[in-house]
A and B are shown apart, each in its own frame.
Chain A
């Protein structure tokens, strides 16, 4: 059974810091890994998608890496801003037969960026 863990569970940093969020998964048989952002009481916003064959993806101040063999992904946020405050979730899509499959979510990292 796939298990996905995120460290740290919570993080508070001053504005302007570069930070790294970690995601670990136990089963490397995945199609891809997706990073989401969730504001309190809101839905999930997709940030980055990394295919199993890729090593990293970048979007603006965000960079996500994937090391499938070791079961790890990191989300790097450069020059953090108060608007980055949210919960960040990673999710893996399993390599299973069929046209639809269930995402397995990590436990989440709650980020607060202070002025």
Chain B
């Protein structure tokens, strides 16, 4: 299995709703990422998990709450979002490696994304 699977593909939610985005991979990758992408812009990093621990939070508002319950799953819990949070949310995974020779060999695998619309 060489895929990152994201569900749902589309989500429409109101500003008072609570919803969750799900990401799953079975490649044995121990680093997982959430990115946010607005139209015609490159992806922007939100969170990084390494060995199921949060290692990077790019100053994301608390209405976004990540969770990594095990090495294969990554969730993004959403609460009280604003219309400007509407975007494509991408999950990615990679080998969690140290050392120049090892880390250089491996890239990132992205999922197909969740298109989120906040109304």
- A residues with a Cβ closer than 8 A to B are 31-32, 34, 36, 41-46, 49, 51-53, 89, 91, 93, 95, 97-103, 105-108, 110
Contact = CB atoms under 8 A, between A and B. Distances in A.
Nearest to B44: A105
* Size category, B interface: 35 or more
A108 B42 contact: yes
Contact of A100 (B31, B42, B109, B110): B31
Interface of B: 4, 6, 30-31, 33, 40, 42-43, 45, 48-51, 55-56, 58, 88, 90, 92, 94, 96-98, 100, 103-113, 115
Which of B103, B106, B115 has most A Cβ within 10 Å? B103
A51 B99 CA distance: 13
Contacts of A101: 48
A73 to B, nearest CB: 14
Contact of A32 (B4, B107, B115): B107
Contacts, number: 81
B104 A53 contact: yes
28 contacts: A31-B103, A31-B104, A32-B104, A32-B106, A34-B107, A34-B108, A41-B88, A41-B113, A41-B115, A43-B4, A43-B90, A43-B112, A43-B113, A44-B90, A51-B105, A91-B108, A93-B108, A100-B33, A100-B48, A100-B94, A101-B48, A102-B45, A102-B48, A102-B56, A102-B58, A106-B42, A107-B42, A108-B40
